[in-house]
Amino acid sequence: MLMQELVDNKVHDETRQGEAFLPQTSAGKAFRKHFYIESYGCAMNFADSEVVASILQDNGFGATRNAEEADLIFINTCSIREKAEQTVRKRLTEFRKLKKQKPGMLVGVLGCMAERLKSKFLEEEKLVDMVVGPDAYRTLPGLVEEAETGQKAVNVMLSRDETYADIAPIRLNSNGVTSFVSIMRGCNNMCAFCVVPFTRGRERSRDMFSIINECEDLFSKGYREVTLLGQNVDSYYWVNSSGNAVTFAMLLEKVAQVSPLLRVRFSTSHPKDITDEVLFTMAKYENICNYIHLPVQSGSTRILQLMNRTYTREWYIAKVNRIKEILPDCGLSTDVITGFCTETEADHQDTLSLFNYCRYDLAYMYFYSERPGTLAARRYADDVPENVKKRRLQEIIDMHRLHSLESMQRDVNKTFKVLIEGNSKKSDQFWAGRTDHNKMVIFPKENHHLNKGDYILVKVEECTAGTLLGKISG
Ligand code: SAM
Ligand code: SF4
């Protein structure tokens, strides 16, 4: 697989693709039926599955991690690249076998692929009983009832105001320390390559009070880190009942004030929208992590214009400089696409030189995959051969690998405040936690009586490409 994540990161976690969820809260409760849900794609989808689980549980359905024992199987899908859709289709053929063994079983497709293909899904994938778009999850209980009568149930209506603000998500497979909190839905940006505006609809921001309540509730339950989620968090804009507007900088400050012990992260920032106010708010609060995910997509101004990103290479570089000026120690990550329509070797060299300038701590790197219906699919030929797209991607990956290793090596011999997330995967004699820069740190427990959710100073002694290894300091 060419998309590569060199450092373990939670916002888009490749290791979680296809994860099936089992909420601890359902243990011991009697449910009339059981559902199994598997999620693909970005963090928003994983957060949505927690909303779906909450809606289903309120209607008498309990979660199971075992697809064979489920009455309902849901697959929360991603359409961002063709490969993501192929993965889902393959998974559906596996569910076909299960359905043959258990004829009453219902299969539902949720999320972006459901929205993109709508009822075509019912024709293409004969075994699917329900097709439900990302704004229609409240209607799931009714759709299940309809499907139970043998009819196919579809709701792919997009909404201008649905934010699921009042639904308390059920934390699924949570470590009990870190959590996503959705602050907005949809996207108005129309980047030429991107299917999101078509599958997730218009941008809308969630009621600030419901966000703060959710963060306070998480804190009271022992959580110590929230990641505020949206396709474009910096354009968060919510107007309260007295007509006063709340911007992302204001929201960030309110969340930071929930407790100095609650770490705050956010993703994703569009370079055109992140403001100085946001950067100053980050500088003001120690508990807002010094880390920004700032997708560049390309280092060539010509390609950026075709992509409709609304900034130039120089403008992006000026933004990175401004970030470093206000937050000298800020970690930086990005997304990039190689082989977008008409991309030349010179454009590609521009991307490499931009990477060399920014020296990202982390990068999500993709080759361009044309998505039906997008601006690019309608206007431009997908004219860069696949082998060229992949070769350019590999060159970027190779360069980034050096930068990310450099970034890990810079941390050796330094001491960091680490939030403990739980035991290390390899041994319960070691803790695993993260630095402010979202880097995983593994260190021996020794005789300190610590718990997950505690903060501790750790001195880093060595590193691998993706992990820091250290010892409790002093
Ligand atoms: N809203 C975020 C943003 O603006 O960066 C994230 C959007 S998307 C879920 C995550 C990443 O997928 C994008 O930043 C982009 O690099 C990549 N992506 C989107 N469409 C793509 C396509 N058609 N082919 C390849 N990569 C794509
Ligand atoms: Fe897609 Fe652009 Fe919106 Fe991100 S900002 S979701 S890349 S349209």
Q: DSSP letter string over 169-232?
A: PPPPS--SSEEEEE-EE------TT--HHHHH-S-EE--HHHHHHHHHHHHHTT--EEEEE-TT
Nearest to 290 by CA among 323, 247, 258, 335: 323
Residue 55 has pLDDT above 50, yes or no: yes
For the CA atoms of 281, 283, 288, 293, what is the dihedral angle to 10 degrees?
90
pLDDT digits (tens, 9 = 90+) for 65-119: 899 989 999 999 999 999 999 999 999 999 988 988 888 999 999 999 999 999 8
**Nearest protein Cα to ligand 2, atom 2:** 191
Quick one: which atom of ligand 2 is closest to the CA of 268?
4
Mean pLDDT of 259-287: 97
| Residue labelled with tokens 């690019």 | 376
Q: Is the CB of 307 under 6 A from ligand 1?
A: no
Mean pLDDT of 277-306: 98
Distance 435 CA to ligand 1 centre (A): 26
Residue 219 has pLDDT above 70, yes or no: yes
pLDDT digits (tens, 9 = 90+) for 457-468: 999 999 999 999
Share of the chain above pLDDT 90, in %: 86
Q: What would the two tokens of residue 3 be?
A: 């998309």
pLDDT for 124:
79
8 pLDDT tier (thresholds 50, 70, 90): very low
pLDDT for 335:
98
Residue 5 has pLDDT above 50, yes or no: no
Q: Is the CB of 163 under 6 A from ligand 2?
A: no
Mean pLDDT of 36-41: 95
Q: The whole model's pTM is what?
A: 0.93
Q: Provide the β-strand partners of residue 433.
A: 420, 441
Distance 194 CA to ligand 1 centre (A): 6
Quick one: which atom of ligand 1 is closest to the CA of 376?
23
Mean pLDDT of 184-189: 96
Residue 3 has pLDDT above 90, yes or no: no
Mean pLDDT of 188-193: 96
Residues with Cβ within 8 Å of 220's Cβ and at least 6 positions away in sequence, in order, are none
